[in-house]
């Protein structure tokens, strides 16, 4: 399928499932959408992107960890560091087992010390020769479940939090002014609040697949 055909089909498939769709301006992408899955107030935001010059559709979602939960993590780091290492290890294994591509953002700390989990990303590519409505929707479902697994691990261990997103050190500006400003790669992120007592957003850089 040609990229233009894939774009037309993906738009039709998402609309047929009554999903909320937001257009994103992105000069590096033929199509860059933010969609909410599953539909409804508890949906998470996913970036659905066709990067220019590639024969694939990339789906990605970013989760920021609640500030209160980050504080509880830091308390565990300071009092039960081995328990913290085990918890992080188990989360990494769970993400690996999900089959998704993933990345985690940990808090910055002095050399030899640990910071809390501040955000994590899950994503998957779908190449054009294997694309279908079923594959697109099943990919959204797999990524959603991968996110839920980590979210519930966080809530179970560190409580519901305060309902406000915590800092993400990796997104602070390069001048070190202390502002929790998303980096250039995160400028397309939008956040929605759900009853998971965490903040959900989406950001994906198509250049990651170039």
**Residue 104's CATH number:** 3.30.1460.10
Residue 37 φ/ψ, nearest 5 degrees = -135, 135
Give the range of the structural domain holding residue 46, as residue numbers without chain letter.
3-209
pLDDT at 204 over 50: no
pLDDT, residue 122, reads: 96
DSSP for 115-135?
Answer: --EEEEEEEEEEEGGG--HHH
pLDDT at 203 over 60: no
* Average pLDDT of span 108-133: 93
Give the closest residue to 51 by CA, choosing from 207, 185, 183. 207
**Cβ pair 115, 108 in contact under 8 A:** yes
Residues in CB range of 196: below 8 A, 6 or more apart:
42, 151, 155
Residue 20, both tokens: 């909320």
Averaged pLDDT of the chain: 85
pTM flag (> 0.85): no
pLDDT at 115 over 90: yes
pLDDT bracket for residue 98 (50, 70, 90): very high
pLDDT bracket for residue 34 (50, 70, 90): very high
**Beta strands at 117-127 and 190-193: parallel, antiparallel or unpaired:** unpaired
pLDDT bracket for residue 173 (50, 70, 90): low
pLDDT bracket for residue 41 (50, 70, 90): confident
pLDDT at 144 over 50: yes
Give the closest residue to 159 by CA, choosing from 210, 196, 113. 196
pLDDT bracket for residue 42 (50, 70, 90): confident
Number of domains into which the chain is organized:
1
pLDDT at 187 over 90: no
């Amino acid at each position: 399928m040609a990229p233009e055909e894939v774009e037309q089909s993906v738009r039709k498939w998402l609309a047929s499932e009554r999903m909320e769709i937001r257009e994103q301006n992105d000069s590096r992408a033929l199509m860059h959408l933010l969609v909410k899955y599953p539909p409804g107030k508890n949906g998470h935001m996913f970036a659905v992107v066709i990067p220019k010059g590639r024969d694939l559709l990339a789906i990605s979602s970013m989760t920021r960890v609640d500030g209160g939960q980050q504080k509880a993590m830091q308390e565990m780091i300071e009092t039960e560091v081995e328990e913290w290492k085990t918890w992080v290890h188990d989360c990494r294994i769970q993400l690996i087992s999900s089959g998704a591509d993933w990345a985690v953002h940990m808090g910055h700390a002095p050399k030899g010390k640990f910071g809390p989990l501040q955000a994590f990303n899950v994503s998957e590519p779908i190449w054009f020769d294997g694309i279908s409505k079923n594959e697109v929707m099943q990919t959204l479902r797999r990524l959603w479940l991968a996110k839920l697994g980590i979210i519930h691990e966080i809530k179970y261990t560190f409580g519901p939090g305060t309902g406000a997103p915590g800092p993400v050190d990796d997104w602070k500006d390069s001048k070190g002014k202390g502002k929790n400003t998303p980096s250039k790669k995160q400028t397309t992120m939008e956040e929605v609040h759900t009853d998971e007592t965490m903040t959900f957003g989406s950001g994906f850089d198509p250049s990651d697949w170039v």
